[in-house]
Amino acid sequence: MVVVPGLSESLCAVGKRIIRFDITETLLSVEATSSVRRANCPRCSRGSSRRHGQYWRQLRAQPCMGRSVILYVQVRRFKCLNPQCPQATFVEPIEDLAPAKHRRTVGFSGASCAIAQALGGSAAARLSAARYEEVVRLRAQGLTFKAIGRVTELDQRTVKNFVRAGEYPERSPRGSGPMLLDAYRHHLCRRVAEGGTNITTVWQELRAQGFTGSRGTVRLAMARAYAVSSSTDPAGRPGRRAPTPSVQRAYAWLVGWDERGNQVPKGAEHRQFVDALCAIEPEIAEASSLACEFLGLIHRRDVDRFDGWLARAQDSKSSELRRFAGGLTADLSAVRAAFQSPWSSGQVEGQINRLKFLKRQMYGRANLDLLRARVLHPN
């Protein structure tokens, strides 16, 4: 997580925490929730922690990186507990950020605009690209690395790297693994062709040659190389790059399960990929099989076999599955009831669709509290 100081500090000073941001060509929007649990009544100064609702304030901050900046700040309202005080409720003060009724923030400059680059994905990539452009522009104006670092609040070394790179040092959109591996791909493919299936061994060999990536990167690359080498395609060049699947796609390939409880057929290439992955990493094979089985049990409401499944999941090599099984165990009676309950999930699905619609209507900016308000009080 990369946090540019400035805005996050200004927000923090008034008890706010950035929970998400979005960046487009022209707009940077930042959403911050309140972490204030207690505030003093402005009339009688008595402290109160009795919450009495909340609302959102929309504030315009100074432009940053050529974009308008809008903050959505959650503000909590408290009930004054002093029976003598004429003030029934009051809101937490955020004067240091923006005085009451003001629509603009005070106190921080455009350059010290701060975004939690927490969410990754395209928004973070666009933000990084924008910062790179800013660095290049300032360098062209003759600023030193140090000065640029001060203005952009980037580390000096990052500034230096940006400038020397000559272009935006773009990461592979699906992770940087394959690029790290490029120099070692020949060795990896040779080992795969020789039948060397031990990932750790190959990983250590690559590390000895200077590879700095993770075992997971090697695992994935080996799975790809296997899939390609076992391909019937005579032109199947070893080491051909296949894109890393997204989480959703990996789910579809490994577990693939549609709404009617059928396993979704996989294409030949996907089948190869999955088989290769399962062959070299038994943990994934086990997780895939347990996940499919669980979905089947749910679908058939087969509570009798559930206990056996749970025992195997608790013994699984996969920590995620063990955690999942632990969660189910902690709530066992409810889980059993869910297996046997005649209730349809139709009502729930309807509400979920409505939630999605509301969230889209609010341009994806809705957080839980805001959604709750809109769902419970539609008007």
Positions touching Zn ion (CB under 5 A) are 41, 43-44, 80, 82, 85, 87
At its nearest, how many Å lie between Zn ion and the CB of residue 93? 13
At its nearest, how many Å lie between Zn ion and the CB of residue 36? 16
Q: Whole-angstrom Cα distance, residue 328 to residue 77? A: 37
Distance (Å) of CA 170 to CA 124, 125, 132, 134, 167: 12, 8, 10, 15, 8
At its nearest, how many Å lie between Zn ion and the CB of residue 46? 5
Q: Are 17 and 33 in contact (CB under 8 A)?
A: yes
- Longest Cα pair distance anywhere in the chain, in angstroms? 87
At its nearest, how many Å lie between Zn ion and the CB of residue 86? 8
Residue whose CB is less far from Zn ion, 44 or 136: 44
At its nearest, how many Å lie between Zn ion and the CB of residue 90? 7
Q: Whole-angstrom Cα distance, residue 182 to residue 188? A: 10
Residue whose CB is less far from Zn ion, 51 or 365: 51
Strand 67-79 to 27-34 pairing? parallel
Residues 21-50 as b or e (16 or more Cβ within 10 Å = b)? bbbeeeebbbbbbbebeebebeeeeeebee
Residue whose CB is less far from Zn ion, 43 or 104: 43
Return the residue matching tokens 């749970």.
Answer: 310
Residue whose CB is less far from Zn ion, 81 or 375: 81
At its nearest, how many Å lie between Zn ion and the CB of residue 82? 5
Q: What 3-state DSSP class applies to 16?
A: strand
Q: Whole-angstrom Cα distance, residue 279 to residue 192? A: 13
Q: Which residues is 34 bridged to in the sheet?
A: 16
Is 255 exposed, middle or buried, given 0-12, 13-18 or 19+ CB atoms closer than 10 A?
A: middle
Residue whose CB is less far from Zn ion, 85 or 295: 85
Residue whose CB is less far from Zn ion, 90 or 132: 90
At its nearest, how many Å lie between Zn ion and the CB of residue 42? 8
How many Cβ atoms sit within 10 Å of the Cβ of residue 163? Answer: 16
At its nearest, how many Å lie between Zn ion and the CB of residue 81? 8
Residue whose CB is less far from Zn ion, 85 or 355: 85
Residue whose CB is less far from Zn ion, 43 or 237: 43
Q: How many angstroms separate the first and last alpha carbons of the chain?
A: 37
Strand 47-48 to 39-40 pairing? antiparallel
